[in-house]
Amino acid sequence: MTKNEQGEFTRTEIFSQPEAWGDALDVVEQARPALGALLQAEYDQVLFTGCGSTYYLSLSAAAQFTESTGKLARAVPGGELLLNPDTFVRGIANPTDEEHHPAHKTLLVAVSRSGSTTETIRAVEQFQKQKRGPVVAITNYGDQPLAGLADVALVIKKGQEQSVAQTRSFTSMFVTAAALCLLAGGRENEYQSMRRLPAAGGKLMAEYDVLAQKFGANLAFDRFYFLGSGTRYGLACEANLKMKEMSLTHSEPFHFLEFRHGPMSMVTENAVIVGLVSEKNFHYEQAVLNEMQALGGNILALGENGLDVRFNSGIPEAGRTILYLPVLQLMAFYRSLAKGLNPDYPKNLAGVVKLNL
């Protein structure tokens, strides 16, 4: 690949992701009868699992499931679910006396771009062998093991990508998970509002592409902190990971108020503090950003209205969460190019992680 072609795959995948969001919503709608049957059942708990980016997706999805349904959901890395299942799954596996040791039923939502990530596949196989409960798979590849293991497989083909770092795949799977959460909570209006996401996402990237490049390509910045709370914390983690993977830059994610408990000591005039600002907690979160700016930090705030990056989507908050990511993906992309790196193929990484387990 020549220098002019570096990042060609990543650029295309970032700018084309709104189309994949539409595909994701179509997939959920087509699977709605099967999903409805699963989601109407009573569970002791709901677990979301994945590895790397899809674990961060699971963090946000679990928060959104709880927020949408009022029922407890948790996120767990695939490797932890495999190695330490009793830490996360209630009850004992395969009870011999159900009258005295009733089985606890869990709904497992397993997320994997490739559908073949070793830890996730082995964790799902173990979960099923122990008869813990049904499995919903969210993936971009239907011909891989995860889809075949699932009771319901949600396969978003238009999220497939050639780059190693997840962009289009991540957001397509997140839209799928968010739609599932809203359906589980019976929040039909917010679910239907997600149909406006592709148009909103395309407009957002066109409007803030230059701003993303301005922040990303400024090599005077030497550290990035991504702040998000509630359903946005997992997305802050994912934005942090994109910055690490693509540009080999020091970055960390934090909950908004947690950043004040020690990490704020790292704020300098070379630091960028990115805030994924919510509507619900706007004043608390904006106050943290104002404080960091007073310490000399450079602030980039994203949200629906009145911030540096304004969605102006008109979509209810529960349906628009994914809009935080595209501009931040672009910021990492432009930083990678500015440092002479190739964002399509980050150092030391592969598109699918397979282990000899």
Domain locations along the chain: 3-186, 197-338
Are 158 and 20 spatial neighbours (Cβ–Cβ below 8 Å)?
yes
pLDDT at position 355: 59
DSSP H helical ranges for the chain? 8-15, 17-30, 32-39, 53-69, 78-83, 118-129, 145-149, 168-184, 188-193, 197-216, 233-247, 282-294, 325-338
Q: pTM for this structure?
A: 0.93
* Token pair in block for residue 273: 């503090």
Q: How many CB atoms lie within 10 A of CB 295?
A: 14
SS (HEC) of 4-66? HHCCHHHHHHHHCHHHHHHHHHHHHHHCHHHHHHHHCCCCCEEEEEECCHHHHHHHHHHHHHH
* Token pair in block for residue 333: 């992309």
pLDDT at position 345: 87
pLDDT at position 5: 76
Distance of CA 24 to the CA centre of its chain: 14
pLDDT at position 1: 40
- Count of alpha carbons within 13 angstroms of residue 234, beta-carbon side: 30
Distance of CA 230 to the CA centre of its chain: 13
User: Which positions ≥6 away from 135 have C-beta within 8 Å?
Assistant: 108, 109, 110, 124, 127, 128, 149, 150, 151, 152
Query: Strands 135-139, 152-155: parallel, antiparallel or unpaired by DSSP?
Result: parallel
User: Which residue has 């780059």 as its token pair?
Assistant: 163
* Token pair in block for residue 265: 């000591």
Q: Of 169, 103, 173, nearest to 138 (Cα)? A: 173
**Fold entry, domain 197-338:** Rossmann fold (3.40.50)
H or E segment to which residue 276 belongs = strand 271-276
Q: Of 62, 49, 31, nearest to 155 (Cα)? A: 31
Q: Of 232, 252, 230, 234, nearest to 243 (Cα)? A: 252
DSSP 8-state secondary structure symbol assigned to residue 186: T
Same CATH fold assignment for domains 3-186 and 197-338: yes
Q: Which CATH number fits domain 3-186: 3.40.50.10490, 3.90.180.10, 3.40.190.10, 3.40.50.1370?
A: 3.40.50.10490
Are 158 and 143 spatial neighbours (Cβ–Cβ below 8 Å)?
no
pLDDT at position 15: 98
Q: Of 45, 42, 40, nearest to 62 (Cα)? A: 45
Q: Mean pLDDT in each 10-residue stretch from start to end of the chain (357 residues)?
A: 71 98 98 94 95 98 97 96 90 50 79 96 96 97 97 98 95 98 98 98 98 98 98 98 96 98 96 97 98 98 98 98 98 97 78 58
Q: How many CB atoms lie within 10 A of CB 196?
A: 14
pLDDT at position 2: 43
